[in-house]
Amino acid sequence: MSVMEPRRLGASEVTVSPVIFGAWAVGGWMWGGADEADSIAAIQAGIDHGLTTLDTAAVYGQGYGEEVVGKAIQGRRDRVQVATKCGMRWDGDEGSDPWPTKDRHGHAIVIRNNSRPESIASECEQSLRRLGVDVIDLYQVHRPDPSTPVEDTMHALVRLKEQGKIRAIGVSNYDVEWMRRAAAMAPLASLQPPYSLIQRQIEAEILPYCRAAGIGVLVYSPLERGLLTGKVGPDRQFPPGDHRASHRFFTVENRRRVREALEQVRPIAERHGASLAQVVINWTIHEPGITAAIVGARTPAQAEENAGAMAFVLSPREQADIRRAFDSCAAALM
């Protein structure tokens, strides 16, 4: 299987695989649990098949997700790029936008956005320890924190970069104004926004800004938590603790609508000997301005399938036809 060349992340020295292994689900949190051995095997299979960039976050499994990634990359560190995120704390009462939820064990917790410099510095040390690495390739602020000036947050990240603890600075879920302020203080390598065939809002302002500013774009949820794989039909039942059960994208009506669109894409998949999921991922990483797509996997087979999305190239006509097939779905979910 041929694998696409790595892509440079903005103006940084970091390169990433066009398809990135998303490690949210391996932390178990909000996905109805996860088996550690399966998660490690999935990550290692992904690395072996070309998913050399791994994206996690401190908040995934409340630290556990990073620990799983750390175990999986032992002996493989020189082959991978590690990206993680900070700024969502579950272990204190400082910060903004308190969100009462449950941890991976079902215990009540409150998560807050906390991007204070002292919190960022502390989180970085904890992430380095849990991941078992000396340096984090890409360190991203998970969400905006209105209670902290973004300039203070960026100053803390620049200091971590100067100390050799991180290689590149990124942000996640920032709008254009937040990015402008951040980029004025720090070399911003990347943005991580949601983007998919049915969720294209970033095409209006965010993507054009990033392209003009030379900021890499690593999109999350390109398969919309499995919805665009063709494997989540209208009759699918979700286990307790699976957040998809209450997500608006997973109403029975919307699952029917997505299934109809995927059937229009199926002939394209068959022409390339690819699965529907592989075609959707391939479409995503070939859209203008997209550096890479972050895709989750819970088993080695899923990781290998995701990597297979880098083994073919869609024609411009196919790229346009796929977009058109989902236009009505995207409009309905705006």
* Angular region, 229: left φ>0, alpha ψ -120 to 50, beta rest: alpha
CB atoms within 10 A of CB 78: 6
Q: Which of 60, 64, 139, 174 is catalytic?
A: 60
Q: How far is CA 94 from CA 113, 114, 115, 124, 141, in A?
A: 8, 7, 10, 17, 16
Could you tell me which of 229, 223, 216 has the C-alpha nearest to residue 198? 223
Could you tell me which of 231, 323, 216 has the C-alpha nearest to residue 280? 323
- Based on the number of CB atoms within 10 Å of its own CB, is 163 exposed (0-12), middle (13-18) or buried (19 or more)? exposed
Contact 168, 138 (CB under 8 A): yes
CB atoms within 10 A of CB 48: 15
Q: How far is CA 154 from CA 121, 149, 160, 188, in A?
A: 11, 9, 10, 9
Is 60 part of the annotated catalytic residue set?
yes
The helix/strand/coil state of 273 is: coil
Please give the positions annotated as active site.
Answer: 60
